[in-house]
Amino acid sequence: MSYKPSDRFYKIDKDFRNPYARDRDRIIHCGSFRKLEYKTQVFLNHEGDFFRTRLTHSIEVSQIARSITSNLGLNESLAEAIALSHDLGHTPFGHVGGDTLDECLKTDGFTNGFEHNFQSFRVVSKLEKRYAGFDGLNLTFATLEGILKHSYPYNKSFLPKTIAENFDLNTHPSIEAMVVDRADEIAYMSHDIDDGVNSGFITFDDLKTSELACEILEKVEAEGVGQEQDEMFRYRFSSHLINYLVYSLLDYSKDKVDNSNILSATIDSKSEIPIGFDSELETKIKKLKKLMFNKMYQHKNIVRKMYAGKKAIEGIYKALSDEEKMLPKYYYAQLDKRAKHRVIADYIASMSDRYAFSFYNEIYGRI
C-alpha cells in the first residue's frame, strides 16, 4: 500500500493493524462500549462528573495493563483489547445489578442465571451486530478467551457445549489476560479510594489502619503535599499506589513469564500463576480491600442507591416477563430465536443506569 498525504482518496489493500489492534478498534466502536459511560462503577453516573464509571474504569485498566505488558515483553495490543472489553457484560448498578438479575432468573427456575464474565463474552461474540453474515465482532480467539476466563479456569456448568468444544475451560488463559485481571484490581483500588475520599465516605485517617495505605501516605507526605491540598493529595496518593503496585508486580512476575510463548501461553490449572505479588503484599492488599468494603462499599448512601437499583432491576424484569411487547423492536424480534427470559436479561444488562431508572419510573412512577 502506498499513500501520499496529498491524495484525497486512497485504497487500503491490506489491514495495517495487527489482529489484536483490530480487536481493540472493533470493541471501541461498538455500542456496548459507549454505554459503559453511563454504567455504575461505585457511584451512580448522575451523582457527579468526577466519579468513575465503567468506561473510565476500563480505560484506566487498559493503561495499566499496557504498561505492565510492554515491560514484560508481552503483547500490549492483546492486553488492551481484553481490558477495554472486560466489563461489557455488566448490568446497570454494578455488581448489585448483576446479582439481582441472577436472582430473578433463578427464582423463575432458570438455573443458569446471569454471570457478567460470560455476558461480556456473549456481547462480543453474539449480541453485537456489525456484519451481515454473522453475529458478534469477529474477534480473535485469544481476545475471546481473555474476556471469558480473566485469570482462572472457567469450567462453569451453565456454559453451552459449543463453548466447551472451542475453549479449554480447565486451563488458565493467556498471560496477557492475567495481567488484565491484576490491572483491574490495581485500577479499582486506586480510583475507588480517590472517589471515596472525594465523596466523604472514607477518609485518609480511616485508611491509616491499613499497612499498605500507610506506606503510600508516607510517600505522599515526603513530597511535602499536605491533606489540606485536597485534590492534589488524592491524586498523588493514587499515583503512588498505582506505581507501587505496578512495580511490585513487575518485580515478582518478570522472572516467571516465559517470553518464548507469550502469544499462546496456556498454563495448566495446577501451575503457579506467573502474574501477581509476593505473599506479604497480597496480604496487605486483602486487608486494604476489606477496609474499603467495610468503610466505603457498605456506606449507607451507597447501600441506599444500590437498593434503589436492585428494585429497578426487579421491577423491569417482572414487567417485561408479564408483557414482552414492551421490548424494543430488535429484542422483540429475538423472541422467535431465543428463550424469552434470556432476551429480557440481555436487554436489561444492556441498559445504562439512567435508562434503567427512566424505564422503571415510566412503568411504576418515580423510584
The CATH number linked to 128 is 1.10.3210.10
Cβ atoms 172, 271 nearer than 8 A? yes
Q: Tell whether 254 is covered by a domain.
A: yes
Q: Is the pLDDT of residue 44 over 70?
A: no
Among the listed residues 282, 90, 326, the one whose alpha carbon sits nearest the alpha carbon of residue 186:
282
Q: Tell whether 266 is covered by a domain.
A: yes
Structure confidence at residue 165 (pLDDT): 82
Q: Tell whether 230 is covered by a domain.
A: yes
Structure confidence at residue 307 (pLDDT): 94
Q: Is the pLDDT of residue 78 over 60?
A: yes
Q: Tell whether 330 is covered by a domain.
A: no
Structure confidence at residue 265 (pLDDT): 47
pLDDT digits (tens, 9 = 90+) for 199-243: 888 999 999 999 999 999 999 999 988 876 788 999 999 999 999
In this structure, the number of other CB atoms found within 10 A of the CB of residue 207 comes to: 22
Please tell me which residue, 338 or 271, carries the higher pLDDT value: 338
Mean pLDDT of 21-26: 95
pLDDT digits (tens, 9 = 90+) for 143-171: 999 999 877 778 887 788 888 888 888 88
Opening angle at CA 43, ends 40 and 46, nearest 5: 80
**Tally of domains within the chain:** 1
What is the rounded CA–CA span in Å between residue 344 and residue 334?
Answer: 10
Q: Tell whether 328 is covered by a domain.
A: no
Q: Which domain holds residue 211?
A: 19-41+52-90+108-291
Q: Tell whether 315 is covered by a domain.
A: no
Mean pLDDT of 310-330: 96
Structure confidence at residue 13 (pLDDT): 56
Tell me which H or E stretch contains 249: helix 230-253
Confidence of residue 38 (pLDDT cuts 50, 70, 90): confident
Q: Tell whether 355 is covered by a domain.
A: no
- For the record, the C-alpha cell of 155 comes out as 469450567
Lowest mean pLDDT among 62-76, 145-159, 277-291: 145-159
Q: Tell whether 345 is covered by a domain.
A: no
Q: Is the pLDDT of residue 41 over 80?
A: no
Across 20-24, 42-46, 163-167, 193-197, which has the greatest mean pLDDT?
20-24
